[in-house]
Structure 1
Amino acid sequence: MTRDMTLDEFRTRQAETKRCAILEGAQRVFLRDGYERATIQKIADEAGVSTRTIYKHFDNKEALFIRLIREAARAPADVCDPGSLCCDEPPAWALRRFGMDYARLVTGDAWRDLLRVIIAEAGRTPGLGGALFEHGTCPYADAVRAYLVRRRGRGLVEIPDEKLAATQFLSMINGVLIWPRLLMNTSAPGDDELAAVVESAVGVFLARYGA
């Protein structure tokens, strides 16, 4: 502890350091052993902490895994804030912005690895998949839907179901990008490839809805 740091600040920093070590250790254990065979003791050994320390930060194994999902799916606040875009923003520009950030999320190594673990455990622990959807896809879908609702409110667009339209837009992106990463272990595509996929999705969306 330095002279400029209060005791409370020192304790907070120590707690955050341990929390990060726990998450890093948990990720390695989950990816190595799978969710079912992972234990709090294994995670403690991997992280170099006690099981008691883990339980100070997380209630159980599932809470730990869901925290990993939330960390991997953390999106830029200005992108996923439903009120971040004015309805006057051109739809092609807005959709490209949402689409590129979403494409980077779903092609990342952390997302791919967690998705593999979740698929393997889907029959035994279905809540994990729900957490991935809630913290990963839903914020983007909600932001796109909110943008479309505002445009409809201004009489700029007629879309019968904005929630369905937003889901369709994101599905055109992840349907192309996720499966090669997940099943064939391909390298993460660069921004040029992501942009081409997103641009195609934007074109199809605008041709259908004229948003």
Structure 2
Amino acid sequence: MTATPTTYHQRVAREKRALIVTAATALFLELGYDRTSLAQIAQRSGVSRATLFKQFPSKAVLFDAIVTESWSTAEDEDPPPVGNIVDGLGTIGRRYAALLTQPKMTDLFRIVIAELPRFPELARAQFSQGKMPYFESVRGYLLAEDEAGTVRVEDVDLAATQFLGMISNYVFWPTLLVPGWEVSAERVDQVVEEAVRTIAARYGAHGPVAATNG
């Protein structure tokens, strides 16, 4: 008898949380982080101040949640199976490209850039709550491939940064900085494929050659 009310309240809480996050992101972009208040967010989202404060006691906590949720879709994906670096990195690369091309990601970075001089903690949230956990998931995959002998990577941090950078430098940063910049789905696929081939060529284990170099 108690399960249904509990499930109902959980669903309502999730729905209100989503309304708050959507309203906060829009207001941060319209007014800036500093000029946006929790009271304004409550009004825009249609929830009471008490409900908002219960979920998010401060703007900083709310921004952390926005960042975490924006990156969480990719982080929650199962890592690709070990054994084929081309297939594995292809899966990771496509996930990363899809993540970076969602409008919310661009919105978040614009908020961070606009408010960075006064609120450096926003950049720390974007890095520690968002980008870093995703980077660690890529790093973990490369380590697993290295342990399996599929690749030979001495500096796995550098390899992960190289791979992600080849993708983000084409599909994300120009979109953020250049008005009207668009990248077709076909071009995104090509960018990912070339990044995979570059990493595979640089770090892939090639039988006797790898053994000789190791």
TM-score, normalized by the shorter chain, greater than 0.5: yes
Give 1:97's aligned residue.
91
Counterpart secondary structure, 1:49: coil
Counterpart secondary structure, 1:52: helix
Give the superposed CA RMSD. 2.4
Amino acid at match of 1:20: A
Amino acid at match of 2:56: F
User: Does structure 1 retain, via aligned residues, the 8 Å contact 2:85–2:150?
Assistant: no
* Ranges in structure 2 where 5+ consecutive residues have no aligned partner: 206-214
Picking from 122, 128, 132, the partner of 1:128 is 122
Amino acid at match of 2:160: A
Residues 11 and 180 (structure 1 numbering): CA distance in 2 closer, same or farther, change over 3 Å? same
Picking from 24, 27, 34, the partner of 1:26 is 24
Cα distance between partner residues in 2 of 1:205 and 1:121: 35
Amino acid at match of 2:145: R
Matched, 1:61 2:56: no
Bigger drift between 183-192 and 36-45 goes to 183-192
What is the aligned residue count?
205
Amino acid at match of 1:192: E
Amino acid at match of 1:17: E
Please list, as runs of the form range in 1=range in 2, the aligned pairs for 1:172-183 lying within 5 A after superposition: 172-183=166-177
* Ranges in structure 1 where 5+ consecutive residues have no aligned partner: none
Counterpart secondary structure, 2:33: helix
Give 2:10's aligned residue.
12
Matched, 1:87 2:82: yes
Give 2:212's aligned residue.
none
In the superposition, the TM-score normalised over structure 2's length comes to 0.85
Q: Percent identity?
A: 37
Give 1:202's aligned residue.
196
User: Does structure 2 retain, via aligned residues, the 8 Å contact 1:72–1:111?
Assistant: yes
In the superposition, the TM-score normalised over structure 1's length comes to 0.86
User: Does structure 2 retain, via aligned residues, the 8 Å contact 1:35–1:117?
Assistant: yes
Counterpart secondary structure, 1:143: helix
User: Does structure 2 retain, via aligned residues, the 8 Å contact 1:180–1:186?
Assistant: no
Picking from 69, 72, 76, the partner of 2:70 is 72
Cα distance between partner residues in 2 of 1:17 and 1:151: 40
Matched, 1:109 2:107: no
User: Does structure 1 retain, via aligned residues, the 8 Å contact 2:74–2:99?
Assistant: no
User: Does structure 1 retain, via aligned residues, the 8 Å contact 2:74–2:134?
Assistant: no
User: Does structure 2 retain, via aligned residues, the 8 Å contact 1:66–1:131?
Assistant: yes
